[in-house]
Amino acid sequence: MRKIIILLIINTLPIIARGQYTDIINSNQPGNSQSAYAVGRKVLQFEGGLWFEQRNHKYTYTDMTLVGLNYSARYGVLSDKFEAVLNGTLAYDHTHYHYLGSQRSNNIGFINNTIGAKYLIYNPYFDEKPNLYSWKANNKFQWKRLIPAIGVYAGMNFFPNKRFYYDNIPTLSPKAVVSLQSHPMPRVVLVANLIANRFLDSNRELGYIATLTHNIDNGRFSIFLESEGIQSHYYSDHILRLGGAYLFTKDIQVNVDLGASWKDTPSRYMGLVGFSYRIDKHLDVIKKEILKGNEEEFKPTKIKRKKKWLLF
């Protein structure tokens, strides 16, 4: 009987273990923002994409065509609230200078790499029961659901490519992100990131990313709209992105993004085809914890008997 109870508990784990871990892949894609939540203990997740970008600068008479690879690896350790993250960008660019003549150059290299960690510091709890008589009541916008989950990220940029930044950019520099995530309506997710990059340097970069994602009724398709702002001494911009994602299996997702900047110094047009895949060992951890807990609960206790002394 005890084994049957344990098996029933294990089979319902995907339902009861959704505090941070989810039974389907929880990717930061589509878009460039990062979720407030971690992937879950013993979950290794890869996210990335092949991208294309065209940059045209009317004042420097420069046209740049870039293709590259974005990559990210996330691993849940210690608890469901904590994850280690490595991400970066590899790019090839073809640059054409067309002022008083024509010059062309080709380059390939890493734009930047960052290693860091994220921790969920607050996760709101809403104790609500579904209304069995009203679809509208269950699907309406609720102000209280704008209260966000909050995650904090701290990382280190290393070996940035000066070609894409500025000459005296530091080899190592800190990065911090505050991630806010809320679910104001069913199948609607709002994520906001507040970003401080190289904030110990005089040329620090501040920014934000806001992403609104809507899951279509069938549960596999989702669409998104994203706004990103960047402000620094050397460069500032505002980029708008849109696109969609498709969930192939509970562990595989693909996405397509398109984006453009508002400026012409330079103007930027971009596209990405992304892919996310996870190796999920989270359930094994929970099974071990449950089995260990039951072993402790049903462990026989030793009764100490008092010795009797016989007196003659």
Q: Report residue 294's pLDDT band, with 50, 70 and 90 as the boundaries.
A: low
| Type of residue at 195 | I
Q: What is the pLDDT of residue 292?
A: 64
Q: Report residue 9's pLDDT band, with 50, 70 and 90 as the boundaries.
A: very low
Cis peptide before 130 (omega within 30 of 0): no
Residues spanned by the domain of 74: 2-297
Does position 115 have pLDDT exceeding 80, yes or no? yes
- Cα separation values, 201 from 198, 234, 246, 285, Å: 6, 13, 40, 42
Q: Please report, for the domain that includes residue 133, its CATH number.
A: 2.40.160.40
Locus of tokens 């990559």: 71
Residue 307 lies in a domain: no
- Cα separation values, 2 from 6, 285, 291, Å: 6, 20, 11
153 versus 59: which is more confidently predicted?
153
| Type of residue at 170 | P
Does position 28 have pLDDT exceeding 90, yes or no? yes
What is the DSSP code string of 211-249?
EEEEE-TTSSEEEEEEEEEEE-SS-EEEEEEEEEEEEEE
3 versus 42: which is more confidently predicted?
42
136 SS3 class: helix
CA distance 239 to 260: 6
Q: Are 147 and 36 in contact (CB under 8 A)?
A: no
What is the Cβ-side half-sphere exposure of residue 296, based on CA atoms within 13 angstroms? 5
Of 93-97, 158-162, 260-264, 283-287, which range is least confident? 283-287
Per residue in 227-257, pLDDT (tens digit) is: 999 998 878 889 999 999 999 999 999 999 9
Q: What is the pLDDT of residue 136?
A: 60
Residue 306 lies in a domain: no
Answer positive or negative: Cα dihedral of 132, 134, 139, 144.
Answer: negative
pLDDT, averaged across the chain: 82
Entry pTM:
0.79
What is the number of domains present in the chain? 1
CA distance 80 to 33: 20
129 versus 47: which is more confidently predicted?
47
Q: What are phi and psi of 135, to 5 degrees?
A: -65, -40
Q: Report residue 263's pLDDT band, with 50, 70 and 90 as the boundaries.
A: confident
Residue 107 lies in a domain: yes
Does position 7 have pLDDT exceeding 50, yes or no? no
Work out the average pLDDT over 21-50.
91
Structure tokens at 223: 């669409």
Work out the average pLDDT over 138-159.
84
Residue 304 lies in a domain: no
Q: Which residues make beta-bridge pairs with 89?
A: 70, 112
